[in-house]
């Protein structure tokens, strides 16, 4: 196999962001500038070579760091001045690595977000430039707020889906059920369910807002317009969006994590119960005690009761998967 190469001297613009987590400061960076001499054309190795190139970025970092493509998030729990100094040293370490390997950060796009009332509000710098502090930031398509509430993300998802649904309503004159269903499933609903286990709404106002889109869509079909919302869903073979979010939590996340289908370590999120019980399935999860409302509705907490109530995890999940495949196709 031949690979064609060409020598170039260009810059590839990337993004960089910063945020904060919990009673901690979460500083996320992306790569703002990339200078390379050799660029491989028509090769699938490009992304892989990039990941290999930045693989040692986290060497010497004392706090937690997450890397995804050209985005990197640095975060840590800040409880005192020593933690602030440690986080700043990690930033200096990242900057030193970037200068050594000629992948400079665009510090103007780097942001800091403080999350938690106990987090120490300190300023952080990169390349002698003070980083901006923000209350909200979009990370991989999901808007993260400093209060960890998802209302803003719900509004943005609603607005995107509403625009697409309005476009369909204005331009499609032939209201055949099959055609509208395909348009809704392929163009509208993905905006309401993108990465939804990470921002599943728990406030009634947010759940109602998201469900409005599907209510509007079902009323667009003339033959079932006068029926109730529940009856319209039955006629179309759809689930409510709230039920789909629960199903996504159980099938896409919990089942895959516990059974090793996902690459995520199950012990990172869950702890299997060691109690011997005669009822239910043998993969029950321990329920942690939480002290805040937000923590109660996090993914790792909200799914435990629903998962433990299943009669048999394998049989129930198989039935749900069959229903999901039947509705999606």
Note the pLDDT tens digit of each residue in 69-92: 778 888 888 888 888 899 999 999
> Is the pLDDT reported for residue 107 higher than 50?
yes
Contacts of 132 (CB under 8 A, 6+ apart): 110, 111, 112
**Banded pLDDT at 30 (limits 50, 70, 90):** very low
pLDDT at 293: 79
Q: Do residues 91 and 126 touch, judged by C-beta distance below 8 A? A: yes
Other Cβ atoms closer than 10 A to 30: 19
Is the pLDDT at 146 greater than 80? The verdict is yes
How many other CB atoms are there within 10 angstroms of residue 66's CB atom? Answer: 13
Gap between the Cα atoms of 51 and 72, Å rounded: 12
Q: Are strands 142-145 and 132-133 parallel, antiparallel or unpaired?
A: unpaired
pLDDT class of 249 with cuts at 50, 70, 90 = confident
Average pLDDT, the chain: 78
pLDDT at 278: 59
Q: Name the CA radius of gyration of the chain, rounded.
A: 24
pLDDT beyond 80 at 226: yes
* pLDDT above 60 (res 36): no
Give the C-alpha separation, 305 to 310, whole Å: 9
List residues bridging with 6 in a β-sheet: 39
Closest CA to 284 of 302, 263, 308: 308
Higher pLDDT, 9 or 215: 215
Phi, psi of 295 (to 5 degrees): -65, -35
**Contact predicate 8/63, CB 8 Å:** no
pLDDT band at 325 (very low <50, low <70, confident <90, very high): very low
Average pLDDT for residues 308-329, to the nearest whole number? 59
* Reported confidence tier of residue 10, pLDDT bands at 50, 70, 90: very low
Confidence of residue 56 (pLDDT cuts 50, 70, 90): confident
Q: Which residues contact 239 (CB under 8 A, 6 or more apart)?
A: 233, 247, 327
Percent of the chain with pLDDT over 70: 80
- Rounded to an integer, what is the distance from CA 164 to the centroid of its chain? 22
Of the pLDDT bands very low, low, confident and very high (cuts 50, 70, 90), residue 41 is: very low
Residue 311: how many CA atoms within 13 Å on its side-chain side?
4
Task: Judge whether residue 23 has pLDDT over 90.
Answer: no
| The most confident of 36-45, 115-124, 166-175, by mean pLDDT | 166-175
pLDDT, tens digit (0-9, with 9 covering 90-100), for 183-200 = 999 999 999 999 888 898
Q: What is the pLDDT of residues 268-302, one digit of tens each?
A: 888 777 776 656 677 788 888 877 777 888 888 88
Query: Which pLDDT does position 27 carry in this prediction?
Result: 47
């Amino acid at each position: 196999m031949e690979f064609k190469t060409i020598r170039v001297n260009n810059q590839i613009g990337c993004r960089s962001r910063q945020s904060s987590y919990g009673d901690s400061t979460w500083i996320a960076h992306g790569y703002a500038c990339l200078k390379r001499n050799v660029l491989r054309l028509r090769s699938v190795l490009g992304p892989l070579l990039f990941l290999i190139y930045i693989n040692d970025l986290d060497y010497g970092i004392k706090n937690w760091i997450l890397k995804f493509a050209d985005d990197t998030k640095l975060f840590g729990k800040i409880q005192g001045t020593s933690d602030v100094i440690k986080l700043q040293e990690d930033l200096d370490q990242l900057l030193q690595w970037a200068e050594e390997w000629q992948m400079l950060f665009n510090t103007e796009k780097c942001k800091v977000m403080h999350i938690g009332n106990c987090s120490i509000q300190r300023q952080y710098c990169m390349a002698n430039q003070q980083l901006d502090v923000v209350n909200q930031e979009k990370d991989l398509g999901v808007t993260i707020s400093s209060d960890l509430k998802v209302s803003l993300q719900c509004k943005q998802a609603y607005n995107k889906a509403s625009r697409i649904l309005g476009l369909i309503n204005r331009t499609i004159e032939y209201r055949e059920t099959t055609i509208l269903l395909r348009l809704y499933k392929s163009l509208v609903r993905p905006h309401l369910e993108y990465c939804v286990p990470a921002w599943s709404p728990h406030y009634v106002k947010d759940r109602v807002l998201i469900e409005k889109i599907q209510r509007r869509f079902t009323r667009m079909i003339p033959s079932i317009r006068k029926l109730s919302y529940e009856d319209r869903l039955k006629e179309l073979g759809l689930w409510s969006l709230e039920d789909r979010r629960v199903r996504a939590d159980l099938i896409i996340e919990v089942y895959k994590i516990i059974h090793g289908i996902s690459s995520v370590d199950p012990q990172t999120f869950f702890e299997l119960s060691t109690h011997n019980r005669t009822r239910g399935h043998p993969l029950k999860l321990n329920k942690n005690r939480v002290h805040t409302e937000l923590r109660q509705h996090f993914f790792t907490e909200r799914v435990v009761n629903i998962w433990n109530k299943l009669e048999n995890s394998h049989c129930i999940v198989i039935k749900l998967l069959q229903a999901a495949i039947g509705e999606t196709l």
